[in-house]
Structures are given as structure tokens and as C-alpha cells.
Structure 1
């Protein structure tokens, strides 16, 4: 019995050291990032917004982000946990496709970008692909009496390239894009 206790104690100490080193490396790594591991915020019209948390935009005058399985509640980050073979999930996605096509009739039968109809794993993804933003350009241009070229240019100017031009797709932060849209004169 004593041997088991000593072995367990040794293993506990080793694991505490390993996890402590891991946490120290992650913490130190976060401090070299531009935001130093803190949330990136924007103050706009007297309100504070977090650019790394998805926001809900319902008005047709704004770009819409990814749907959220948690109604954009940052305290309850989660996905739907429903797979692509789940009938209820498929119905939800089809409803989102139908709604999106109804909101963007100018797009006709154009391919719907997947992130506009499926929630992310956290339900709080603040970004959409450049294609997802461009899909909405004609609706927004019409709603705001702007040329589609102007809105498309805005999307292009707010598109972030993949990390090191290698990892992941290009993306657009929906909150930042909508603020820039409001600031157009």
C-alpha cells in the first residue's frame, strides 16, 4: 500500500510540474501577441464591443455573421452537438438557407457559403469568409443606396489574409466591417 501511495505522489508531482511548465509557456506566448492575451475591444457610439466574439445583426442594412447555437451568449459558448446526419439539424440548416435566399434574392441560385447557414463550434465565431461577405454585398448596397462596387471594395479592404498566407482561409470580422459600413459617408 505504501508503494502505491509513494508512486501516486511522485506521479502527481511530475504532472504538476509538466502542466505548470505548459501553462507558463502558453501564458508567456500570449504576452507576445498584439493584444497580449487580452480581448480585443472596440468602443463605438458609447458602447464597448469585443471583436473576438460574434455579434448578432438582424437588419438587412448590415452584414450577417454565422448563426449561433447559443444566441451569441458568450457565457454559454457551445455548438449544437448535432451531426450532419441529424434530421433536425438538416431541417434547421435548410430553413437558414431558405431565409438567406429570401433576404438576398439578387443572388438567385448562387452557391450559399456554408458559414452563413451553420454555427461554429463555439457558437460565437466573429468572422466569416470573404465569400460569405461578398454574398451579401448586393443586398446591403440596395438597402443603403450605395453601389455594389463601393460595398465590395469595403469587404476587400477588411479581408484578413490567412496566417502567414498559409494557414486557414481569408476572413472578415463582421463587427469591424459593419462599423466601417456605418462610417461610410
Structure 2
């Protein structure tokens, strides 16, 4: 009986000690280091201007009007979830459609038609593939420089500024290859659109 009590006490002390070390001290230490060294990333990489939050630079937002840069196809649902006051909440998720499925092919065809209609100046210019396909997450905030360039004439006309001004905005929102070697150059769609709106 005495040995059992001793074992039980050691077990409780062991569990309590590691709960404090791993659940409290370690968590506080990692959170503190993250806030000290990477405060923007630790707080969600939110784009905030003048105290107003416009979104996360790591999550795509859907734009479909002529005056804004379009991103990749997003699988968005605004009818499944609602807030406490009944307001619809936007929900997005990765697509599980196979590229060989008829539904996926129809989605791509529909997007091509929309892009052709919205960008008549591009005539029969090949549409960059990232403008007509979903990303793995369905929430990719970036497009390729080629996809951004495809939309330059439309953006210039809709915003009544020059194509060179649009290209300058796109360059400011373009991330290069990691260490100059790995990955591809990408354009952050939200950042470009905030510049077009005069916010950034």
C-alpha cells in the first residue's frame, strides 16, 4: 500500500511538473520570442493601415471587378455558416475536384470566358495557368508576374492611370525567389489592390 501511494505521488508530481514546463513555461517562452523577433508573423501577418485591418497577406481575397487585380480561383461559400446575428460568413477550402473531372473542366472554361471578356485588349494572348486553376489550399494570396501582367491593360483603363503606373505597383508587391534561388517570383494580389485603392 505504501509503495502504491509513493508511485501515485510520483506520477502526479511528474504529470504536474511536465504540464507546467511544457504547457506553461515553454508556451510562454515561444510566444515571447515570437512576439519579440517576429511580431507581424506571430500576430497573423495582418495588413493594417491607420488602425484599420484589411486582411492577412497570407490569405487570398476574391476580387471580380474590373478595377482590381484578380487572383486564383477560390472555392468560396457564403451560405453554410452564419454569425450570431445571422450575417453570412465567408468560408473557403481547398478543392477536391480532379483535374480530369467534368466539373473542374467546366470551372476552368467558365474562368477563361470571364477573363477573355474582362480583358478584351489581350485578344488571343495565352492566359497564365494560375488564373484559371485553384491552388492546393484554395486560399493562395499570390499569382505569377505573368498573371498580373495579363491584367495590366484592364487595370489601367478601369483606374484611369497608365500601364507603367500599374506595373510599378505590381513590382512593389512582387516577392523574389527565396535566397534568390528557390521557388518562383510571386505577386501579392491583396497588396496590389490596396495600392490601387490608395490605401497602401
1:87 corresponds to which of 89, 95, 102: 102
Q: Deviations 1:10-40 (Å, cap 9, x if unpaired)?
A: xxxxxxxxxx9xxx8xx96x93657354311
2:63 corresponds to which of 57, 62, 86: 57
- Would the aligned equivalents of 1:127 and 1:171 in 2 still touch at CA under 8 Å? yes
2:151 corresponds to which of 136, 140, 151: 136
**Residue 58 of structure 1: how far off its partner (Å):** 2.1
Aligned residue number for residue 40 of structure 1: 45
Gaps of 5+ in 1: 1-19
Q: Take 1:136 and 1:97, find their aligned partners in 2: how far apart are those partners?
A: 13
Gaps of 5+ in 2: 1-21, 82-88
Q: RMSD of aligned C-alpha atoms?
A: 2.8
Aligned residue number for residue 100 of structure 1: 115
SS in 2 for 1:42: strand
Of Structure 1 and Structure 2, which has the larger fraction of its residues in strand? 2
Aligned residue number for residue 73 of structure 2: 67
How many residue pairs get matched?
Answer: 160
Q: Take 1:100 and 1:45, find their aligned partners in 2: how far apart are those partners?
A: 34
1:151 corresponds to which of 163, 166, 169: 166
**Residue 43 of structure 1: how far off its partner (Å):** 2.2
Q: Which moved more, 1:70-79 or 1:129-138?
A: 70-79
- Would the aligned equivalents of 1:61 and 1:144 in 2 still touch at CA under 8 Å? yes
1:116 corresponds to which of 98, 110, 131: 131
Q: 1:143 to 1:75 in 2, by over 3 A?
A: closer
Aligned residue number for residue 190 of structure 2: 175
Aligned residue number for residue 141 of structure 2: 126
- Would the aligned equivalents of 1:138 and 1:148 in 2 still touch at CA under 8 Å? yes
TM-score (norm 2): 0.70
**Residue 124 of structure 1: how far off its partner (Å):** 0.8
